[in-house]
Amino acid sequence: MPLVATGSIVEPAARRRHGVGAFNVIQLEHAEAIVAGAERAGAPVILQISENAVRYHGALAPIGRATLAVARAAAVPVAVHLDHVTSAELVREGVELGFTSVMFDASALDYEANVRATAEVAARCHERGVWVEAELGEVGGKDGVHAAGARTDPGEAAAFVASTGVDALAVAVGSSHAMLTRDAVLDLELVAALERAVPVPLVLHGSSGVADDHLAAAVERGMTKVNIATHLNKAFTAAVRACLDEHRELVDTRRYLGAGRASVAAEVARLLGVLRAA
C-alpha cells in the first residue's frame, strides 16, 4: 500500500463519524510499531513527527525519510504528518521531503496574527497538494503542565477556517498535552457545537490524557483526528523497564527496544479499535 494523502484518510472518516488515530514517532521503533498495530487492526493510520522530535534528532531528514520509508512499505494506508510546526522553513522542508500534511501551530499568537501566518502557510502547502491543519484556542500542557482551561469558540473557529483555508482544525475542548493520567474531562457539548459550526474535520490534541470512553464519545460527537503520543511513550517505557528488570544481563539494545516496539504495536491496534467502534 503506497503512502497516501492525509485527507484521503481523514475526510472519509469525518463523513462516517469514525476516529482516525494519529500517533507520534520519536524513533524508528515507534514508526514500525504504529504501522504494525495499524496492520493488525486493518485500519489506516497517521504517523506524526513533531517539531520537538525534529529538535531531538537535530534535523528532520533522517527521521523523516525513515518514517516515510516505513509508511511506503505498509500493508494499510499510511499518511505522514509534520506536527506542531512553528517554523515556516520547517514546513517547507517537510513538503520537500514528501510529508503528506503539516500542522502549522501559530496558536500562541493573537487571533489576527494567527490568521495571517496560517493563511500564508496554507496557500503555499496547497500549491504542492499538502493538507494543512492549524490550531485555535491553544491546547494546554505544551510545557508539560496540565492547563486545560482553554476553550475554542465555535463562531471564531468557523471564521478562522474561512479566512485561512485550512483543511482541519485542532480545537481546545478540555484535553492537555503530555498528561500521564487519563482523567481529562472533555466538553462534549462544545465538541458537538464545533462540529456543527466548522466545515472541516476537527482534531483532538492531548488525547493521551483522555480515557477510552471519552475518546469514543468525542468521536461520536464529531471529533475525527485523534493525536496520541505520551500514552504510547508510557507503554514503550514500561515494556523496556520490565524487560531490563527481568534480564539484567542484556546489552543488546534490540532485545529491550523490541519489547517496547511490541507493546506499542499492541496498544495502537487496541486504540484504533476504540476509535473506529465509536
pLDDT digits (tens, 9 = 90+) for 49-59: 999 999 999 99
pLDDT, tens only, 98-148: 999 999 998 788 889 999 999 999 999 999 999 999 988 655 544 433 355
Active site positions, annotated = 83
Mean pLDDT of 82-87: 94
Q: What is the pTM of this model?
A: 0.92
Per this entry, what is the length of the chain? 278
Task: Enumerate the domain spans of the chain.
Answer: 6-277
Residue 240 near residue 256 (C-beta atoms within 8 A): yes
Strand positions, DSSP E, 197-257: 202-204, 223-228
Mean pLDDT of 62-78: 98
Residue 197 near residue 158 (C-beta atoms within 8 A): yes
* Amino acid of residue 141: G
- Domain 6-277: top CATH class: alpha beta
Using CA atoms, how far apart are residues 130 and 100, in angstroms rounded to an integer? 5
